[in-house]
């Protein structure tokens, strides 16, 4: 499989579409939270996506249960993925969404640092570091109204969201560093969906209410989360991770919360800052800097 040093046009358009779908997912989750408890909802979407993945793999002749040395790293990645969402959902009990996003999107920095030391072909230069800082600055500008002085409980939620960011970054790095980089992206996703689906019965055992109301809006929201996000977008994401630099792909994720704000404004009539467009420009500039060709040293 050919490895790319930079994102090409296809990968750029794919990442724009993925981050837009992840941003809209925040709207889908929000309109469903009153009807489906959070961790149960996370497990439910992964269980549904896992079944779709099984059917898709069977139709395409992709073998998911053959021995290929991926079991141990696969279980590790699946556990990291499941824990990430547990921390995300529990963090929102203690802290605000706006504040939590800033801590969650520390993940691209963690990926960049990890890739610099663990992946020799993905070392970061000055332009790439400046690009990450520029993109994060755009995110801070867009969410500046959420940066009030936190309470002690908000600090607990912030810390939990930072743990989620570390788990998200660790998932990406484990895929790049282990035998998972050589297997089909569908099998990598199967590990994560299968393990995360276990959070659905565990949520009920922990006292969550599960589904308390089911109507057309809830059905549409769950269908979007299962089919578009957990199945299609995650399958595409892990396929991209196997081919393109992890730090460059992670820089694109700064677009996701900005798309979430735009989706909230359009579908939920939420107010957005007029500085959002400046924030988008800063994020775009940051992504461009991260994706610039790295200077090569002369070799004899």
Q: What is the mean pLDDT of residues 200-213?
A: 90
- What is the structure's pLDDT at 90? 79
Q: How far apart are CA 34 and CA 138, in angstroms?
A: 31
Instruction: Indicate the range of 61-75, 142-156, 178-192, 273-287 predicted with least confidence.
Output: 142-156
- What is the structure's pLDDT at 298? 37
Q: How far apart are CA 230 and CA 100, in angstroms?
A: 21
Q: What is the mean pLDDT of residues 195-204?
A: 92
Q: For residue 296, is pLDDT > 50?
A: no
**pLDDT of 87-128, one tens digit each?**
887 787 777 666 677 788 888 888 888 888 888 877 778 888
pTM over 0.85: no
* Residue boundaries of the structural domains of the chain: 9-290
Q: How far apart are CA 233 and CA 248, in angstroms?
A: 17
More confident residue, 77 or 100: 77
More confident residue, 43 or 100: 43
Q: For residue 278, is pLDDT > 80?
A: yes
Under 8 Å CB-to-CB from 57, ≥6 apart: which residues? 63, 64, 186, 190
- What is the structure's pLDDT at 299? 40
- What is the structure's pLDDT at 300? 33
More confident residue, 137 or 144: 137
- What is the structure's pLDDT at 220? 94
Q: For residue 39, is pLDDT > 80?
A: yes
User: Do residues 77 and 180 touch, judged by C-beta distance below 8 A?
Assistant: yes
């Amino acid at each position: 499989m050919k490895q790319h040093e930079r994102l090409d046009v296809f990968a750029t358009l794919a990442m724009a579409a993925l981050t837009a779908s992840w941003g809209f997912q925040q709207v889908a989750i929000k309109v469903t939270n009153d009807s489906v408890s959070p961790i149960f909802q996370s497990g439910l979407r992964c269980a549904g996506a896992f079944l779709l993945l099984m059917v898709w793999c069977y139709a395409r002749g992709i073998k998911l249960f053959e021995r290929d040395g991926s079991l141990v790293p696969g279980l590790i990645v699946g556990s990291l993925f499941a824990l990430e969402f547990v921390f995300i959902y529990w963090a929102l009990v203690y802290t605000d969404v706006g504040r939590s996003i800033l801590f969650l999107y520390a993940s691209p920095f963690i990926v960049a640092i990890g890739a610099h030391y663990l992946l020799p072909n993905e070392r970061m230069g000055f332009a790439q570091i400046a690009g990450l800082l520029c993109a994060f600055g755009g995110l801070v500008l867009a969410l500046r109204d959420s940066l009030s002085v936190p309470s002690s409980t908000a600090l607990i939620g912030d810390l939990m969201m930072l743990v989620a960011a570390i788990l998200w970054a660790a998932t990406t790095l484990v895929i790049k560093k282990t035998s998972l980089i050589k297997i089909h992206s569908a099998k990598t996703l199967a590990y994560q969906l299968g393990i995360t689906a276990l959070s659905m019965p565990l949520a009920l055992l922990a006292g969550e209410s599960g589904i308390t109301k089911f109507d057309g809006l809830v059905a549409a929201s769950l269908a979007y989360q299962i089919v578009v996000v957990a199945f299609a977008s995650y399958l595409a994401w892990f396929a991209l991770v196997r081919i393109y630099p992890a730090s460059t792909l992670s820089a694109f994720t700064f677009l996701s919360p900005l798309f979430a704000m735009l989706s909230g404004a359009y579908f939920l009539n939420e107010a957005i800052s007029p500085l959002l467009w400046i924030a988008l420009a800063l994020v775009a500039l940051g992504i461009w800097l991260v994706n610039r060709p790295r200077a090569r040293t002369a070799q004899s």
